[in-house]
Chains A and B, each alone.
Chain A
Amino acid sequence: MKKLVVLFMVLSLIMLFTACGKKAAKVAPVQGPVVEKVEEPITQVEKPYLSEEEIFQQKTIEELNKYQVLKMINFDFDKYQVREDMKPLLQANADWMLKFSTVQVLIEGHCDERGTIEYNIALGEKRAEAAKNYLTSLGVNATNIKIVSYGKSKPLVHGVDEATYFQNRRDEFIITKK
């Protein structure tokens, strides 16, 4: 008998609370804690802005190459087809080369170390050639581009993981003449 009374009381309590909860949710949404907005005052420093033309005029060939105005692209393992995600980089390179059409560019094809010396020279050349073909398809003059392959003899970074290998499987775009 005692148990039954206790059970009844518990049940009625649960019902009361759930009913209250539902009502509360409907009536007033829970207020979040007060958040103080943190802001830093904007300093009025003006960065010296150089247009592409000014950069091209002012910088030497070495500096242009150092700052990589032409972007490097990477390749899949054992492949020489241009990756989809590298096409925008080639597009940017092509735009730049079309803008400064006097520029002569050497495309260097490179491979990671997981290949033989002989085959990698051929593979590197195919990579350079793939980029050259892509650039010319975008309107760049083929006579402005030369290609060379270094195979695996000039790795960019040293290491034995996929990230390293990916960085080494690349085409570099070297400006040889302004």
Chain B
Amino acid sequence: MKIRQTVLVAFVFLVSWQLSGQEEITIRIKEGMPMIPVALPDFQFTETSLPNNEIKNLIHETLWQDLEFSRVFKLVPREHYSYIARFNASAINFKDWASIQANILISGQLEIGADERIIFSLKIYEVNSARFIFGRNYGGKKDLCRMIAHKAADEMMKHFGEKPLFTSKIVYVCETGSDKEIYIMDYDGFRPTRITFNNYIDMLPSWSANNEKIIYTAYRHLSPDLYMFDIYSGKTELLSSGGVNYAADWSPGADQIVYTSSKDGNTEIYLKDMKTGQDKRLTFNPAIDTSPCWSPNGREIAFTSQRNGTPQIYVMDAEGSNIRRITTEGSYHDSPAWSPDGMRIAYVSRIEGRFDIYVFNLKSNDIIKLTENAGRNENPSWSPDGRHLVFSSNRSGKYQLYLVDYDGRNIRQITSSGENKMPKWQRLLK
């Protein structure tokens, strides 16, 4: 009888162990999941619309690039469309689209008024079942063409159970000459907007949990301090005093920030309650402690510490206890960035004078290298869906911002004027 019980316990244990193992496998399958083949034929104008091809092509091209970037959808090559009859929104021949391997068909129609106001109607069809899945109408002015396409791409993501990211923004520092100011741009590098005009050194911006505020560091009064800028009201508020203050990261719960400060005489990590303004010191060490970064569940903080001689990545509980070292090899690591799914930490390593971006998997302890043999690569930041990262690199001579997928594929440059550094991607849009 006793033996049977132990066997049963062992069996239950095995099953639960297998289940947890299975969970991990499911996620891996998701990442390697075949992408959904999508056909995106040319958009059509309504009968009353102005035939403005510039607007039509811009929306089409932007949507095309978004979907191609997604790693969720795969676009059926344009040249395959010539094998079948031209797309006709009022009489869709689904068999034709099935014959060129499309699973999803996107139909777009434009109504462009004399004042260049646009109404874009999006319709999504499932090809094999010849079924209309969903549709949306977007209205806006000519200068918002790209935004209309990004909205449509986000809608596609949401409909297929993925997180939207195409309307998300990136905050960064742009240097022109000796001036270093903060800018915000679309995820793909378009529509940059300058948000600081102060002629000080501005650096290391980061988003608030609701994406409405930006905390950055500025050398306004000789020593660098943290400032909080409200995007909607335009107001700036001083958050710190005494010593060097920088590298703030807002908690996912929105009520706290962690940051680096030397106000007590040594660079340590502090937690600030954003409601009361109270500071709590988290690290107590004569060495350098810096670059704090929240885990997405708000329970842990990754940071850089030189307590064992060289800068390494550590993780501690949000109260400052239970400190564990994450990086074990190499002698220089910094800039940890926790992935939105909580499973991975991206960071920068210096190995033989080269700076590259690595991703550490907290479950499997695997490390993958995202950049190779191309300049100095710094300050990684994850996309809201965790499939991409933005980072800065001087591979082209000057520092510019680049996007890369979680597995190191599809590196592309998104900025080109001035020098651009320290990018931070917005969090998941609600």
B422 at the interface (CB under 8 A from A): yes
Q: Which of A106, A114, A118, A129 contacts B334 (CB 8 A)?
A: A118
- Contact, CB under 8 Å: A119 / B244: no
A55 at the interface (CB under 8 A from B): no
B415 at the interface (CB under 8 A from A): no
Give the Cβ gap from B51 to chain A, nearest Cβ, in Å. 50
In the complex, per-residue mask of B407-424: 1 if CB is within 8 Å of any chain A CB, else 0:
000000000000001100
Q: Which of B246, B332, B355, B421 contacts A121 (CB 8 A)?
A: B246
Most chain B CB neighbours (cut-off 10 Å) among A113, A116, A146: A116
- Contact, CB under 8 Å: B246 / A146: no
- Contact, CB under 8 Å: B203 / A125: no
Chain A binding surface SS class: mixed
Give the Cβ gap from A164 to chain B, nearest Cβ, in Å. 14
Chain B residues positioned under 8 Å from A116 (CB to CB):
291, 334-335, 348, 350, 355, 378-379
Docked Cα-Cα span, A121 to B265, in Å, equals: 14
Chain B residues positioned under 8 Å from A113 (CB to CB):
376
- Contact, CB under 8 Å: B290 / A121: yes
In the complex, per-residue mask of B128-151: 1 if CB is within 8 Å of any chain A CB, else 0:
000000000000000000000000
Q: Which residue of B lies closest to A174 (CB)?
A: B222
Give the Cβ gap from A55 to chain B, nearest Cβ, in Å. 25
Give the Cβ gap from B288 to chain A, nearest Cβ, in Å. 4
Docked Cα-Cα span, A177 to B222, in Å, equals: 14
Give the Cβ gap from A174 to chain B, nearest Cβ, in Å. 10
B400 at the interface (CB under 8 A from A): no
Docked Cα-Cα span, A148 to B223, in Å, equals: 6
A175 at the interface (CB under 8 A from B): no
- Contact, CB under 8 Å: A114 / B224: no
Docked Cα-Cα span, A31 to B183, in Å, equals: 81
Q: Beyond A125-B262, A125-B267, is A118–B335 a contact (Cβ under 8 Å)?
A: yes
B311 at the interface (CB under 8 A from A): yes
Give the Cβ gap from B162 to chain A, nearest Cβ, in Å. 32
Q: Beyond A122-B260, A123-B288, A149-B244, is A117–B422 a contact (Cβ under 8 Å)?
A: yes
Chain A residues positioned under 8 Å from B224 (CB to CB):
121, 148-149
Docked Cα-Cα span, A150 to B218, in Å, equals: 11
Most chain B CB neighbours (cut-off 10 Å) among A119, A149, A150: A119
- Contact, CB under 8 Å: B204 / A118: yes
B353 at the interface (CB under 8 A from A): yes
Docked Cα-Cα span, A114 to B310, in Å, equals: 14
Q: Which residue of A lies closest to B379 (CB)?
A: A117
Interface residues of B in 329-377 (CB under 8 A from A): 332, 334-335, 348, 350, 353, 355, 376
- Contact, CB under 8 Å: B288 / A106: no
- Contact, CB under 8 Å: A122 / B288: yes
B100 at the interface (CB under 8 A from A): no
- Contact, CB under 8 Å: B288 / A126: yes
Interface residues of B in 159-200 (CB under 8 A from A): 180
Docked Cα-Cα span, A117 to B348, in Å, equals: 11
B247 at the interface (CB under 8 A from A): yes
Q: Which of B203, B222, B265 contacts A117 (CB 8 A)?
A: B203
- Contact, CB under 8 Å: B246 / A118: yes
A: contact size bracket: 20 to 34
Q: Which residue of A lies closest to B221 (CB)?
A: A148
Chain A residues positioned under 8 Å from B288 (CB to CB):
119, 122-123, 126
Docked Cα-Cα span, A108 to B353, in Å, equals: 25
B318 at the interface (CB under 8 A from A): no
- Contact, CB under 8 Å: A148 / B222: yes
Interface residues of A in 87-133 (CB under 8 A from B): 106, 113-119, 121-123, 125-126, 129
Q: Beyond A122-B260, A122-B290, A123-B288, is A117–B378 a contact (Cβ under 8 Å)?
A: yes
B304 at the interface (CB under 8 A from A): yes
Chain B residues positioned under 8 Å from A117 (CB to CB):
203-204, 335, 378-379, 421-422
- Contact, CB under 8 Å: B180 / A119: no
Give the Cβ gap from A31 to chain B, nearest Cβ, in Å. 59
- Contact, CB under 8 Å: A153 / B222: no
Chain A residues positioned under 8 Å from B306 (CB to CB):
119, 122
Give the Cβ gap from A75 to chain B, nearest Cβ, in Å. 14
Interface residues of B in 243-262 (CB under 8 A from A): 243-244, 246-247, 260, 262
B201 at the interface (CB under 8 A from A): yes
- Contact, CB under 8 Å: B222 / A121: no
Chain A residues positioned under 8 Å from B376 (CB to CB):
113
Docked Cα-Cα span, A78 to B350, in Å, equals: 12
Give the Cβ gap from B399 to chain A, nearest Cβ, in Å. 10
Q: Which of A118, A129, A148 contacts B290 (CB 8 A)?
A: A118
Sample 24 A-B pairs with CB under 8 A, ordered by A number: A113-B376, A114-B350, A115-B332, A116-B335, A116-B348, A117-B421, A117-B422, A118-B204, A118-B290, A118-B291, A118-B335, A119-B311, A119-B334, A121-B260, A121-B290, A122-B244, A123-B288, A125-B243, A125-B262, A126-B288, A146-B223, A148-B224, A153-B180, A153-B203
Q: Name 17 extra pairs, CB < 8 A, besides A125-B243, A148-B219.
A: A78-B332, A115-B332, A116-B291, A116-B348, A117-B204, A117-B335, A117-B421, A118-B204, A118-B246, A118-B334, A119-B311, A121-B244, A121-B260, A125-B267, A126-B267, A148-B224, A149-B244
